[in-house]
Structure 1
Amino acid sequence: MLDSYSPPLTAKKDTRVGDWAEADNVELAYAPTNSSWLNRIEARFTALRYFALDDTDHASHREQGSVTRRSVIWRNRHAADQRLRAVVDRANVA
């Protein structure tokens, strides 16, 4: 998904990206500019940033990666929690 992908109007396509995609059998999905709400992963990134990254001062990238992994693991273990589902559903609507 190419979210807010905006090459110059004169370019028919970004040949490097297009060549890579064709060579690796990847289909590029272009979302309209300024429409990140169409990309459902955005809500997950927002939650991850809120719970694991905002207002933190990690000593290293390793520590930040550890916090990120723990957040994802926690989220996956609690995916069926109805309160969490309600928060995710609200984020997807907004």
Structure 2
Amino acid sequence: MLSGLDLASGQMFYRLRDRKRWQEFLDFLRQLRRRFPTGRLYVVCDNFSPHLKTEVAAWCATHDVELVFTPTNASWLNWIESEFTALRYFTLDGSDYPSHTAQEAAIAGYIRWANRHARPKRHFAPESKIRRPDYLPNVA
């Protein structure tokens, strides 16, 4: 599954594909660009190798799309991860789907439900210590 989260609406956009190569990722970016045709498009990504492909970077440069990469082992900084947690909880945990088609239908059904109840994403961790400039994590 390739997916994106629109922070302005809180809705998820997704595509279920058999593979997740750079070609599928680029196709997904093209779909996002068609959905949001004007203005700079920011896409937060992890460091998965298809996101780093030269062809992807070249297309993004010519279509006003900026890929923003989370630091290694910091996927929690990407807001979509919390949406994935809910998706896993409601559709995958404890499941035994008879086929991939049934599993995909459950995922699609959950995302349609979540999108109907979506609200804009605002105020990410407003009281979190990590937002304070004087916060230093305990590291050795």
TM-score range, shorter chain: 0.5 to 0.7
How many residues are aligned here? 77
CA distance in 2 between partners of 1:51 and 1:30 (Å): 28
Which residue identity lines up with residue 2 of structure 1 in the other structure? C
CA deviations 1:37-72 (Å, max 9, x no partner) are 111010001110111012212112221111112212
Question: Is structure 2 residue 78 aligned with structure 1 residue 58?
Answer: no
* Cα distance in 1 between the residues matched to 2:107 and 2:118: 16
- Once the two structures are superposed, the pairs formed by residues 1-94 of structure 1 within 5 Å of their partners are 1-3=44-46, 5=47, 14-79=53-118
Large movers: runs of 4+ above 6 Å: none
Larger strand fraction of residues = 2
Runs (5+) with no aligned partner, structure 1: 8-12, 81-88
Aligned residues: percent identity?
Answer: 44
59-68 or 13-22, which moves further after superposition?
Answer: 13-22
CA contact (8 A) 1:6 1:33 kept: no
Give the RMSD, CA atoms, in angstroms. 2.9
Q: How far is 1:20 from its partner? A: 3.0
Q: Name the CA shift for 1:62/1:38 in 2 (closer, same or farther; >3 Å).
A: same
Alignment partners' CA distance in 2, 1:79 and 1:24:
28
Aligned equivalents of 2:77 and 2:94: distance in 1? Answer: 27
- Name the TM-score, length of structure 2 as normaliser: 0.45
